[in-house]
Structure 1
């Protein structure tokens, strides 16, 4: 299903005058291109296509039919799998691989009929909130544009089902971007179980705290990020302190939507490949790499311009092949654990009578 949708989007892009839809199905801003740039792009795309074909063949061999060889391959060659995921999962296989690395495929198989029950027979206190927000989720994507169209219906069903499945979390606005991203690569039921796998912690630490009242996990992540910026990018950390900039002003959406809200889609996809495989530490690594890459410009800016710059990073900084190689070597795991303990102590002191 996911593959068919991606192919349809690509076909519609090719058939649309002026190429107004990109290969992912998003409406493009029209801009003039020089003939030289077009000819270089055409040559590069032919080479890229051959490279992508070889990559797909490697991945198909690695995962087997429908993912049948995946667990065996991961046990035998975990470092090969990690390296290939970091280079980017082929787009035509992304939906399947995301389900395999997140543990959601196992959840789906263990819970036959549950999703259908939640969608058809249950009611949710969040239904009106979900309906209100649907049109704000990826409004420039062809799949979600039509009011009450298949994309909006699927998004509603997944979010409603989750709000019933986990009534403690219910529905929070940022969840729509995560569910929407998943629906571009898989069926409703698959997207639902991947959302469950993420929030309930099928493979990595549960992330439901991102959406609980008061967003407790977001607060923890922002505390950790602020400390890491001061430690690893001290010049910028000092400038942030002087200008009274804290991470809640620019980084909350990084965590709540795992970069799916405001980052260019090709970069967001590459981050999601690694996020589902390695966990939330990649969000910290990418954030720190981005700040470090832009540090020389950011330290010159006063408060107002700084806030704007932290929400509109330059195009070169958003190139996955530039940013991700800078992010991967950053070591954060041990320090994140230490900072989590520090944060919990800080919170405990606040609630003492």
Structure 2
């Protein structure tokens, strides 16, 4: 019996079981020896055919090759600009991870898809054509209206106020907005010069103001108030900015001259006057802007807001009477919470709505205020309350005042979440107040508004104006 081998001996070898290959091996390929070239440099190793011969003369270890993984194509495959044969059999109407459709069903769905796309393109073309047609209609209507302005209104603007169906047509056209190239001229004509100021008045008052500023006798508190007001005037336009605004100095000069012209009456500066001056500067030269501003602010109720005769209580009683006629529920709720018009009306009327409504909307309101007078101020105010009506029944007085001031936190949060830009110079945009909605409210007042009632209220509450 042969001795048992000691596998723990250093000289012993562990028998390795013979590897069984289920795939019969190919006979080794004989090595190919390439003779050296004449230059003595043989073929590079990387280009020589590999040899199966090893150092011990045996074949190399077998390498098991993986089977190719078949996947479905997910995109268009083209060779030389033409579709491959495979693409013809791939479905374009079924995701690749789902079982394939029957060929007939796939073709039907493809035809349906092509038809849907054709109809969609046709609908887009028709929609674009309708937009172009509407644009052409608007252009033609604008040209026709411009011809009416040039032919009938500009030569004799007062016919707009005369009775008659034809003149009423012109009045409605004015209410739609005065063209920008006629605005300055028609504003100045409609405001008039009831104070009988000469054309040199602005130059005289401006010279006095500059002399007082140079001598440091101009009231410093008034000057600071003017500068702060100018800095906050129409911030989105950037033309009155103190650092780079091209019209900043013109606005400041006009306001200083306005203060000097009122000093003889013992009246000073009123916060918000910069908005009035800015609007006039944008539409007419400085001297005409000064005359128009002086005369406009001498009208009835506006004078009471700018320090003249009359008081806030008188104006509040007038507005309360109109509010009770037009919106009795809001009037009653305000009375319950002790919210007087003096708490919100001056913020609207003093800048003529420029701090609460978008600029373009306010310009159109100015067109009608200048034509119709102070009564339209109150109609716009009631129209604003009409749009805010659903928000004016909060049980909390503080929240009601925040809504009226355009500072309601809940409305601001909703506006930001919905992507509505909140403009500090147009605070009521967050409430969804648009030009269309406001004018709809104003036109609805035709059912109950009476100019005779307005005249009677003015005579009763402001008899000295």
Shorter chain as normaliser: what TM range? 0.7 to 0.9
Indicate if the aligned counterparts of 1:52 and 1:90 stay in contact, CA closer than 8 A: no
Indicate if the aligned counterparts of 1:115 and 1:161 stay in contact, CA closer than 8 A: yes
Partner of residue 303, structure 2: 208
Matches within 5 A, 1:118-157: 118-122=205-209, 123=212, 124-125=218-219, 126-147=222-243, 149-157=245-253
Indicate if the aligned counterparts of 1:135 and 1:147 stay in contact, CA closer than 8 A: no
Long gaps (5+) in structure 2: 1-123, 213-217, 407-427
- Structure 1 246/112 Cα, relative in aligned 2: closer, same or farther at 3 Å? closer
- Structure 1 144/41 Cα, relative in aligned 2: closer, same or farther at 3 Å? farther
Indicate if the aligned counterparts of 1:115 and 1:192 stay in contact, CA closer than 8 A: yes
Indicate if the aligned counterparts of 2:159 and 2:167 stay in contact, CA closer than 8 A: no
Deviation (angstroms), 1:95: 1.6
- Structure 1 154/283 Cα, relative in aligned 2: closer, same or farther at 3 Å? same
- Structure 1 287/75 Cα, relative in aligned 2: closer, same or farther at 3 Å? closer
Deviations 1:222-254 (CA, angstroms, capped at 9, x unpaired): 221123222331111111122222222222222
* 1:54 has 2:141 as partner: no
In structure 1, C-alpha distance between the alignment counterparts of 2:202 and 2:322, rounded to whole Å: 40
Long gaps (5+) in structure 1: 1-34, 346-353
What secondary structure does 2:187 align onto? Answer: helix
Indicate if the aligned counterparts of 2:187 and 2:370 stay in contact, CA closer than 8 A: yes
Superposition CA RMSD, Å: 3.4
Partner of residue 34, structure 2: none
Indicate if the aligned counterparts of 2:319 and 2:378 stay in contact, CA closer than 8 A: yes
Question: Among 179, 183, 189, which residue is 1:90 paired with?
Answer: 179
Deviation (angstroms), 1:219: 3.5
- Structure 1 94/333 Cα, relative in aligned 2: closer, same or farther at 3 Å? same
Question: Among 443, 460, 464, which residue is 1:325 paired with?
Answer: 443
- Structure 1 338/206 Cα, relative in aligned 2: closer, same or farther at 3 Å? closer
Indicate if the aligned counterparts of 2:187 and 2:367 stay in contact, CA closer than 8 A: yes
Deviation (angstroms), 1:329: 5.0
Deviation (angstroms), 1:343: 4.0
In structure 1, C-alpha distance between the alignment counterparts of 2:135 and 2:397, rounded to whole Å: 42
Question: Among 369, 375, 390, which residue is 1:281 paired with?
Answer: 375
- Structure 1 142/52 Cα, relative in aligned 2: closer, same or farther at 3 Å? farther
In structure 2, C-alpha distance between the alignment counterparts of 1:244 and 1:129, rounded to whole Å: 31
Indicate if the aligned counterparts of 1:250 and 1:311 stay in contact, CA closer than 8 A: yes
Question: Among 223, 246, 249, which residue is 2:343 paired with?
Answer: 249
Deviation (angstroms), 1:276: 0.6
| TM score, norm. by length of structure 2 | 0.57
- Structure 1 59/232 Cα, relative in aligned 2: closer, same or farther at 3 Å? same
Indicate if the aligned counterparts of 2:368 and 2:376 stay in contact, CA closer than 8 A: yes
What secondary structure does 1:143 align onto? Answer: coil
* 1:334 has 2:452 as partner: yes
* 1:193 has 2:288 as partner: no
Partner of residue 91, structure 2: none
More helix by share: 1
Matches within 5 A, 1:17-96: 47-64=137-154, 68-71=155-158, 78-96=167-185
